[in-house]
Amino acid sequence: MSDARPPAACALVTGGSRGIGAAIARAMADDGWPVAINYRSDAQQAAALVAAIEADGGRAVALEGDVSDPATPALLLAGAEQAFGSPVLALVNNAGVRADGLALSLSDEDWRIVLDTNLGSTYRLTRGALRAMIRARFGRVISIASVVGPRANAGQANYAASKAAVIAFTKTAAVEVARRGVTINAVAPGLIATDMTEDIPQAFRDRVPAARAGTPEEVAAAVAFLASDRAAYITGSTVYVDGGLSA
């Protein structure tokens, strides 16, 4: 069995137009992956990212779609394959949302949107992508989890449930397909400086042993490594990129 990336392969990054997703798309393109960048609403930012990747000699395409819609994952996988003429053999489940509130006051809609976006899309995209991956005897699925989930964080019961479930899904799906050369891992960021974390209180920031927020590029580096041939024997794992927060 070959553990090397086949020449005909592309990557799909969900929620890829900004923040951690954009850094991941850049890192994957730098590693030679043609990258399909999914975005929900920010077409301008996605187009700018595609242009930047192309200016650096890479290949990229922007694909609009709300991954919380159960119909979207299949459309994204088909769209990426059509754009590059090769199947998605690296899937980065990055799209995620927050709708914070104490568990006793969360609305059903707060629960649904967070679980459908963070967990449902991870499951549906992975299920769809695995079809081509097991046939190719190569595949990389990397899902963005969080330190919140394995650890408590008051006000984020829905988010924590979704991210802990992503890690659990990762482990079981990984063992199911390991012998086909497909690896499935999670990357769990801690406090990363993006517009999604601007409102994080200082008290939480003070708990980070590294005494600073991480950068999207530091998360992207872990994702790119897990997508590489060098990570062929790592599967079912969660890599924490958190400055020691979960240690």
Partner 1 sequence: MAEHSSEQIEKVITDSLVSFGANADDINREAELTALDIDSLDLAELSQIIEEQFGVELTSGDVAEIATVGDAIDLVAERTAGA
Residues that bind partner 1 (CB under 8 A): 131, 134-135, 176-177, 179-180
Q: How far is the CB of 38 from partner 1 (least distance, A)?
A: 24
Closest among 209, 202, 211 to 247, alpha carbons compared: 209
DSSP string for 26-46: HHHHHTT--EEEEESS-HHHH
**Smallest distance, Å, CB 180 to partner 1?**
7
Task: Respond yes or no: is residue 159 known to be catalytic.
Answer: yes
Choose between 179 and 205: whose C-beta lies nearer to partner 1: 179
CB of 174 to partner 1, least distance (A): 12
Toward partner 1, which CB reaches closer, 53 or 91? 91
User: Scanning the structure block, which residue is given the tokens 């489940």?
Assistant: 93
Q: How far is the CB of 134 from partner 1 (least distance, A)?
A: 5
Q: Whose Cβ is closer to partner 1: residue 178's or residue 196's?
A: 178
Catalytic residue among 123, 159, 233, 240: 159
- Identity of the residue, 112 or 180, whose beta carbon is nearer to partner 1 in the bound complex: 180
φ/ψ (deg, to 5) at 246:
-95, 0
Q: Is 44 exposed, middle or buried (0-12, 13-18, 19+ CB in 10 A)?
A: exposed
Instruction: Just list the catalytic residues.
Output: 159
